[in-house]
Amino acid sequence: MLMSVFNLLADTASDIKALQDQVKLDSQILAETFYFWTVVVMWLIHAGFMAYEAGAARRKNVMSTAMKNILTIAVVTPTFYYFGWYIYGCMEEGWPKSGHASPDAFPGFCGLTAPWSAASGPNLQDHISGVFFLAFLLFSWTTGSIMSGALIERIRLSAYLILTVLLGSFVWILDAAWGWSAGGWLTTRFGFHDAIASGVVHGVAGFFTLGVLINLGPRIGKYDIKGRARTFRGHNQHLTLLGLMLIFTGFYGFYAACLVIQSTIFPGWLNIYLSPTTLGAIAMVITIGFAGGFTGGWFASKGDPFWTLSGGLAGVIAVSAGADVYHPSLAYLLSISGAIVAVWAGKFIEERLRLDDAVGAVAVHGVTGFYGVLLVGIFAGGYPTGINNVETSLGGQLIGIMTFIPLAFLPGYFASLALKKLNLLRVPPVVELEGLDMAEFEQDFFPEFASVRERIVSPDGEIEDAVPILIDAYDRSSYGKAPAGVGAES
């Protein structure tokens, strides 16, 4: 009798163990599937960036613009695999090391991020590392692509590729290690809180871009002799708006991928700092953030379609840092303010700083990104961030901002300065006038459509023939002094 009871207990224990193993495996595969689909959805961000920027380009620069987005994938992927992931896994304490020991949130994580590690290969025991890497890789593409649109129509493709590798595989992932990980020194020491990457992705990409724009200079004809800004007419604004809508769709994948889930290890959804949240909470904030952003963008820009949709992006970016803790009502108000900030910043950058940011990336991503980080300090101060519950504070957020702005701006500025000194940054002026597509690909990409003369919007809002304006701008600029044969008959 007693033996049969023992046998029954042994069988039951064995069944429970088998059940536990099965549940664990199912949980891992569920997490693996989840991250896989976030990656698929995030591809839409890049389809969107391509459409958005190509639509904003003039007809003569469409394919050269689109090709930048495509080749971002070609160069950021290997460099992030070889270097970027290791930076994220192993530099949480800063380099040189800050001296403030970070809690080891994921023991042994550093060793798993080397390209030759067991976690990087076809490891039957590891369902998570590969898809987790891919989610971060897609963040890296996004960061690199944010810069892309600002530089269109005059940067060399190869110069852009060098800069996007620096931004997408080194700069942003270093700041992510510091302030967007459970063990980063900004998190563990100052309670820095940027849950869905307002600052670490958008802000950093925007300020890196600012550094590049200073050296790159405006497109020929962008400013008149009084320094007033003209507006180039993108060849297809509908395509631009469609691109933005694709980016918005992809953002749902981005937001979801910023969370951590594995039910047999964690009690539920966690943010990147391993603090609890829910997928529903962040989905609510992103959705109402778009609504507020469109509204703010519309009114701040007086109904301009481009800035209305860009306002939606800015609205979401403004509430991303606190998306895990904001009430939707608060997110609505803050996203409206974020869009207004973006529109004002865009005008300031274009008209006062006279920097030719073709798509407003510095304003929408850079300024609004750090504005979003600041908002967390104001509206979510005291929230216990991370595994050791360090309180988020305005001071901590400011330290993060003061760390990230130079970390982003200086590499962008000096790398582009070096390329400029080597004459590798910008296409020759005559090539810019004719359009990059003919130089890069020797063809027009609308062969069955009749071409019309290029138009430009004057600072007074008049639509004018662009050709004499561009030629005049060329002659007045330092470019015009160089080749004596420009304009001569063949």
Partner 1 sequence: MFDAFPYDAWGPDVADFWAFGGANSTGTYIMTALGIILFFAAMIGWVRQETERMKEHEARLLKQGMLTRMHEPIPTNE
Site residues (vs partner 1, CB under 8 A): 59-60, 75, 78-79, 82, 115-118, 120-125, 156-158, 161-162, 165, 424, 427-428, 430-431, 433-435, 438-440, 443-444, 446-448, 450-453, 467, 470-471, 474, 483, 485-490
Nearest to partner 1 of 304, 440 (CB atom): 440
Q: CA 97, 103, 108 angle in degrees (round to 5)?
A: 85
Nearer to partner 1, 165 or 300 (CB): 165
Q: How far is the CB of 160 from partner 1 (least distance, A)?
A: 10
Q: Are the beta carbons of 149 and 64 closer than 8 angstroms?
A: no
Query: For the chain, percent helix, then strand, then coil, each to nearest 5?
Result: 65, 5, 30
CB 376 within 8 A of CB 322: yes
Q: Least distance to partner 1 from the beta carbon of 278, Å?
A: 34
For residue 457, the tally of other CB atoms under 10 A from its CB is 15
Closer Cβ to partner 1, 59 or 365, answer by number:
59
Smallest separation (angstroms) from partner 1 to the CB of 128: 16
> At its nearest, how many Å lie between partner 1 and the CB of residue 216?
15
Q: How far is the CB of 366 from partner 1 (least distance, A)?
A: 26
Burial 124-152 (b: 16+ CB within 10 A, else e): eebbbbbbbbbbbbbbbbbbbbbbbbbbb
Identity of the residue, 193 or 222, whose beta carbon is nearer to partner 1 in the bound complex: 222
Q: Which residue has the tokens 């003061």?
A: 402
Name the minimum Å distance from CB 445 to partner 1. Answer: 9
User: Nearest approach, Cβ of 343 to partner 1 (angstroms)?
Assistant: 33
| Nearer to partner 1 among residue 329 and residue 423 (C-beta) | 423
Q: Say how far apart CA 381 and CA 393 lie, in whole Å.
A: 5
Closer residue to partner 1 (CB): 79 or 320:
79
To the nearest whole angstrom, how small is the minimum distance from the Cβ of residue 404 to partner 1? 27
The residue written with tokens 């004499």 in the block is 468
Nearer to partner 1, 109 or 379 (CB): 109
* Smallest gap from residue 119 Cβ to partner 1 (A): 8
Residue from 295, 293, 310 nearest 347 by CA: 310
For residue 464, which phi and psi values (nearest 5 degrees)?
Answer: -130, 165
Residue 289's closest CA among 259, 258, 326?
326
Nearer to partner 1, 60 or 230 (CB): 60
Tokens of 157: 């493709």
Which of 70, 146, 142 lies closest to 440 in space, CA to CA?
A: 70
Provide, rounded to whole angstroms, the least separation between the CB of residue 205 and partner 1: 21
Query: At its nearest, how many Å lie between partner 1 and the CB of residue 467?
Result: 5
Kindly tell me which of 82 and 348 has the beta carbon lying closer to partner 1. Answer: 82
Distances in Å between the alpha carbon of 198 and those of 171, 203, 254, 362, 420?
Answer: 15, 6, 12, 13, 30
* Cα angle, residue 47 at apex, residues 44 and 50 outer, rounded to 5°: 145
Do 187 and 385 form a contact (C-beta atoms < 8 A)?
yes
- Closer by beta carbon to partner 1, 243 or else 435: 435
Nearer to partner 1 by Cβ, of 24 and 354: the residue is 24
Q: In whole angstroms, how far apart are CA 154 and each of 63, 142, 157, 307, 426?
A: 13, 21, 9, 23, 6
Backbone angles phi, psi at 197, to 5 degrees: 75, 35
User: Is residue 456 classed as helix, strand or coil in its secondary structure?
Assistant: strand
